Amino acid sequence: MSGRLAGKVAMITGAASGIGRRTAERFVAEGAKVLMTDIQDAKGEEVAKALGSSAAYRRVDVTREEDVASAVAEAGRRFGPLDILLSNAGIRGQGAIPIEQLDMAAWDRAMNVLLRSVVYGAKHAAAVMKPRRSGSIVNLASAAGLVAGATPHDYSTAKGAVVHFTKGLALELGEFGIRANAVCPGYTITPMVLEGLGIGAQAIEAEPQKVDAAFAAVHPIPRVGRVEDIADAIVFLASDEARFVNGQAIGVDGGLSAGAHWSGHRGKMAAIRTTLAAEGT
């Protein structure tokens, strides 16, 4: 099969739904063989079956290093040595609660799923990729890992750590021909985001323009992200087209992480001038 990923072997964590699922579909369409991993067995098996002989599903708890190591080994046995790793598995975090109310057990859970799993993946993928002096590791971070305040403490802290870990990987592994990059989505319509918003997929499908208008408040490009937006960036980073792209945290967020446009400060500056004038400053 021809394609941008022809002949390559990939493993994706969190592949049963959302960004992981769409990326698995894109990888196969571009010629890759894909081992999909998740804990949503019914969904994962359904997607793998639909993708045919180029995909397989394995249950993996990414918080268990032995599960991740076994999955990397299975990808090799089933399809050949690993060329691409996408560490994508995620959870939402605790929500917008004050620091003094943090549940530290939930904090540890978030760190295990969002950060430790990424370390496990890189550790075992690198062991396979180094002897071949080739490979692409793509870690799913977040715009919340680039700017503070957009998400709960545990989520943003873990995603920020993923960004820095990825940069460290790039510096270490570049000499072995292995690239490491992070993709940092903005608000994207996935099952996890829908759960956090308390709305169903049907509402999104019924009124997409209304949804885009709502997210214009946070994205300079005035719409919400779609899984296709993120998957396209991942395919690029996984492919040989990105052969000289290494150590980057690429925001796929409509400009969210770029900062606040000056026009948004007009009202605040007017209030400051009014206050200072009233005080005779």
Question: pLDDT tens, 240-275?
Answer: 999 999 999 999 999 999 987 666 656 666 776 777
pLDDT of residue 25: 99
The answer as to CATH 3.40.50.720 being correct for domain 9-278 is yes
Active site residue 57: no
pLDDT of residue 45: 98
pLDDT of residue 270: 72
Nearest to 225 by CA among 269, 256, 261, 182: 256
pLDDT of residue 271: 73
Q: Look-up: residue for tokens 């190591």?
A: 69
Pairing of strands 9-13, 178-185: unpaired
What percent of the chain is predicted at pLDDT more than 90?
73
Cα dihedral across residues 41, 43, 44, 45: positive or negative: positive
Residue-by-residue pLDDT tens, the chain, 281 positions: 689 999 999 999 999 999 999 999 999 999 999 999 999 999 999 999 999 999 999 999 999 999 999 999 999 999 999 999 999 999 988 777 888 999 999 999 999 999 999 999 999 999 999 999 999 999 999 999 999 876 789 999 999 999 999 999 999 999 999 999 999 999 998 888 777 667 766 766 777 788 888 888 889 999 889 999 999 999 999 999 999 999 999 999 999 999 876 666 566 667 767 777 776 65
Label each residue of the chain as H, E or C.
Answer: CCCCCCCCEEEEECCCCHHHHHHHHHHHHCCCEEEEEECCHHHHHHHHHHHHHHEEEEECCCCCHHHHHHHHHHHHHHCCCCCEEEECCCCCCCCCCCHHHCCHHHHHHHHHHHHHHHHHHHHHHHHHHHHHCCEEEEEECCHHHCCCCCCCHHHHHHHHHHHHHHHHHHHHHHHHCEEEEEEEECCECCHHHHHHHCCCHHHHHHCHHHHHHHHCCCCCCCCCECHHHHHHHHHHHHCHHHCCCCCCEEEECCCHHHCCCHHHHHHHHHHHHHHHHHCCC
pLDDT of residue 225: 92
* Helices 117-132 and 153-173, axial angle in degrees (round to 10): 10
pLDDT of residue 98: 86
Q: Which residues contact 29 (CB under 8 A, 6 or more apart)?
A: 3
pLDDT of residue 259: 83
The CA radius of gyration of the chain, in Å to the nearest whole number, is 20
Nearest to 123 by CA among 71, 61, 184, 175: 71
Q: Of the listed 57, 120, 155, 187, which one is catalytic?
A: 155
pLDDT of residue 277: 76
Nearest to 88 by CA among 45, 161, 37: 37
